[in-house]
């Protein structure tokens, strides 16, 4: 006996022992290949269509098919699509699965839900599906071979194994005969793909109440119409210095369309015009008691002033009444109905207040907008007879009386009834516009647009004319230097040789050879 004979007898399992001998993960090639080729078919799927079945049937081998799929296949081929053995439609056994409250298959006796590890059997004579545990305990051990639901007698050979967790070879889709041979036609594959595209394909196993609700929804549902608004593209005048933000929104939100180009935001036409209003407006109101000359703060309060001037232009105020006159307070008009409840702005809806802190109801003759609350300005206005500080910040001041104070005093003395209505009508007969700054601003906008268009056309015209003048240069040869005229090149080179002192040509002076004065001879002269 050698030394250390029990050295390898560990009191624990080593990694190698657990890996190779005692179970665990077998990380070898055979295991990986086996896992790669095994693709489990779910219990509730047809072995032929590989889709959830509606009318399950099986043969003696316990492989489940859908009735509509297998009958057509057997008529054409006459063999089992999984094993390739001969098979007839008369051999098919209709299966009856029980379901729990959640719609999952279960045993009708033990009420246990079927899983991938459940041992499931079916009785051939009735087609009822049970768990193997229920059959063993209530039939085989008691020798009571009768169906647990219908009490129909059966034999031991009538017990068909639907699923055995220890033998799952028949659920391997890769080993099915029709999968190996690819017996499906292109038309069948196309039909299955169309079925899967329909959402109803995946909700076939719902209860009746849900089906009725979906059917009612399909009958009554009206898809919302998507209104595509034309995209506004700004020009030189109304382009903002910031973008529309659609590119960022399309990149970060799935509810927005994808936009790959940033565009400048388009300013509202009113914003463009109001920015070019440089002076105040002047209007004369002609009443049956005289005239009132008004100065309007068009630059500071543009919306209210434009609304008033436009109504004066289009005759909206003509022959209307000042329906409310309160002595030592104000006179109110601008309502065509004469009731104090009418009136409309030029935009067809109420516009917001334009409260300017420097303008106050601090004198006689202040022109202000009448409203029924915050941001409810329409067409009614009033002129004060004295300072009214309590109205500051509540009403938009957009002008004041600069002429016709005697007319204002005369109107103030008109007698009224208990509802502050004048007994003798005070009429707004007509209006004269002396200065309309908004018309001038619109003219300036049109002028700027015209200048921008003319400039663009001039640039495009110049570029097109220059393109038409350009001609392709003449070629004198091929290869490098094909555009050089040899005659011009010769003349230029000769001329350059005469003028350029740094030019070295073929006529450069030769180097002088020094001649020696000594002659080689003999010694006869000595």
Q: Domain ends where: 442, 457, 476? A: 442
- Quick one: average pLDDT of 483-501? 60
User: Are residues 186 and 290 both part of a single domain?
Assistant: no
**Which one from 395, 400, 428, 438 is the annotated catalytic residue?**
395
Do 405 and 259 contact (CB within 8 A), yes or no? no
Question: In this model, does residue 168 exceed pLDDT 90?
Answer: no
Provide the CB-side half-sphere exposure for 405 (13 A, CA).
8
- Quick one: average pLDDT of 185-210? 71
**Which one from 332, 361, 380, 400 is the annotated catalytic residue?**
332
User: Are residues 44 and 143 both part of a single domain?
Assistant: yes
**Which one from 97, 114, 381, 382 is the annotated catalytic residue?**
382
Q: Structure pTM?
A: 0.49
What ranges in 413-524 are assigned the alpha helix state H? 437-469, 486-499
pLDDT at 234: 76
**Which one from 329, 386, 427, 429 is the annotated catalytic residue?**
329
What is the residue range of 62's domain? 37-197
Q: Domain ends where: 399, 423, 442? A: 442
The CATH number for 82's domain is 3.30.40.10
User: Are residues 268 and 330 both part of a single domain?
Assistant: no
pLDDT at 281: 96
The CATH number for 423's domain is 2.40.100.10
Do 334 and 317 contact (CB within 8 A), yes or no? yes
User: Are residues 193 and 248 both part of a single domain?
Assistant: no
| DSSP calls for 208-223 | HHHHHHHHHHHHH--P
Any domain includes 312: yes
Question: In this model, does residue 466 exceed pLDDT 80?
Answer: no
Any domain includes 94: yes
User: Are residues 174 and 261 both part of a single domain?
Assistant: no
Any domain includes 150: yes
Any domain includes 295: yes
Is 67 an active-site residue?
A: no
User: Are residues 428 and 297 both part of a single domain?
Assistant: yes
User: Are residues 63 and 132 both part of a single domain?
Assistant: yes
Question: In this model, does residue 473 exceed pLDDT 60?
Answer: yes
What backbone phi and psi angles, to 5 degrees, belong to 58? -150, 165
Is 361 an active-site residue?
A: no
**Which one from 51, 177, 300, 371 is the annotated catalytic residue?**
371
Q: Domain ends where: 159, 178, 197? A: 197
Any domain includes 114: yes
pLDDT at 224: 76
Is 391 an active-site residue?
A: yes
pLDDT tens by residue, 310-352 = 999 999 999 999 999 999 999 999 999 999 999 999 999 999 9
Which is nearest to 262 in space by CA: 228, 233, 226, 227? 233
| DSSP calls for 228-291 | -PPPP---TTTEEEEE-SHHHHHHH-TTS----S--EEEPPHHHHHHTT--S-EEEEEEETTEE
- Quick one: average pLDDT of 266-277? 90
Number of C-beta neighbours around residue 379 at 10 A: 23
Any domain includes 26: no
Residues 6+ positions from 405 with CB-CB distance below 8 Å: 364, 365
Any domain includes 470: no
User: Are residues 292 and 401 both part of a single domain?
Assistant: yes
- Quick one: average pLDDT of 183-197? 69
pLDDT at 1: 47
User: What SS3 class is residue 483?
Assistant: coil
Based on the structure, what is the number of domains in the chain? 3
**What's the N-to-C CA distance of the chain in angstroms?**
127
User: Are residues 263 and 381 both part of a single domain?
Assistant: no
Is 168 an active-site residue?
A: no
**Which one from 323, 324, 361, 400 is the annotated catalytic residue?**
324
Is 144 an active-site residue?
A: no
pLDDT tens by residue, 207-261 = 778 888 888 888 888 877 777 777 777 787 888 888 888 888 888 888 888 888 8
Is 263 an active-site residue?
A: no
User: Are residues 375 and 407 both part of a single domain?
Assistant: yes
Any domain includes 354: yes
Is 323 an active-site residue?
A: no
Question: In this model, does residue 79 exceed pLDDT 50?
Answer: yes
**Which one from 391, 427, 442, 444 is the annotated catalytic residue?**
391
Do 59 and 170 contact (CB within 8 A), yes or no? no
């Amino acid at each position: 006996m050698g030394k250390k004979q029990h050295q390898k007898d560990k009191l624990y399992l080593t990694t190698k022992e657990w890996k190779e001998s005692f179970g665990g993960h077998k990380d070898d090639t055979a295991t990986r290949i086996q896992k790669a080729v095994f693709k489990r078919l779910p219990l509730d799927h047809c072995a032929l269509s590989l889709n959830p079945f509606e009318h399950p049937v099986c043969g003696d081998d316990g492989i489940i098919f859908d009735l509509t799929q297998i009958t057509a296949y057997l008529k054409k081929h006459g063999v089992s699509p999984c094993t390739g053995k001969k098979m007839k439609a008369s051999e098919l056994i209709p299966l009856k699965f029980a379901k729990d409250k959640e719609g999952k298959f279960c045993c009708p006796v033990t009420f246990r839900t079927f899983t991938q590890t459940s041992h499931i059997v079916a009785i051939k004579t009735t087609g009822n599906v049970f768990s193997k545990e229920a059959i063993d305990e209530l039939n085989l051990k008691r020798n009571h071979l009768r169906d647990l639901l219908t009490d129909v007698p059966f034999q031991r050979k009538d017990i068909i194994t639907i699923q055995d967790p220890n033998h799952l070879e028949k659920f391997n889709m890769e080993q099915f005969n029709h999968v190996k041979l690819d017996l499906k036609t292109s038309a069948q594959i196309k039909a299955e793909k169309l079925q899967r595209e329909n959402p109803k394909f995946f909700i076939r196993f719902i209860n009746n109440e849900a089906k009725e609700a979906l059917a009612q929804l399909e009958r009554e549902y009206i898809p919302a119409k998507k209104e595509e608004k034309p995209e506004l593209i700004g020009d030189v005048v109304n382009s903002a210095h910031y973008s529309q933000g659609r590119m960022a929104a399309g990149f970060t939100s799935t509810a927005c369309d994808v936009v790959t180009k940033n565009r400048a935001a388009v300013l509202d036409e009113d914003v463009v015009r109001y920015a070019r209003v440089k002076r105040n407006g002047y209007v004369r109101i002609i009443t049956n008691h005289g005239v009132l000359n008004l100065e309007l703060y068009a630059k500071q309060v543009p919306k209210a002033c434009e609304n008033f001037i436009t109504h004066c232009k289009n005759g909206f105020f003509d022959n209307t009444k000042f329906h409310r006159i309160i002595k030592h307070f104000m006179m109110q008009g601008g309502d065509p109905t004469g009731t104090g409840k009418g009136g409309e702005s030029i935009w067809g809806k109420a516009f917001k207040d334009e409260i300017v802190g420097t303008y106050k109801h601090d004198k006689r003759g202040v022109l202000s907008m009448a409203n029924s609350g915050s941001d409810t300005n329409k067409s009614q206005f009033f002129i004060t007879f004295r300072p009214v500080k309590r109205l500051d910040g509540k009403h938009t001041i957009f002008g004041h009386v600069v002429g016709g104070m005697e007319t204002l005093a005369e109107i103030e003395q008109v007698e009224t009834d208990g509802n502050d209505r004048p007994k003798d009508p005070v009429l707004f007969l007509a209006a004269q516009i002396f200065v309309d700054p908004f018309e001038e601003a619109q003219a300036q906008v049109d002028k700027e647009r015209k200048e921008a268009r003319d400039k663009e056309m001039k640039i495009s015209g110049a570029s097109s004319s220059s393109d038409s003048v350009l001609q392709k240069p003449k070629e004198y040869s091929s290869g490098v230097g094909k555009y050089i005229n040899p005659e011009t090149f010769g003349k230029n080179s000769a001329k350059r040789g005469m003028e350029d002192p740094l030019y070295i040509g073929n006529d450069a002076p030769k180097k002088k050879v020094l001649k020696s004065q000594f002659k080689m001879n003999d010694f006869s002269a000595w």
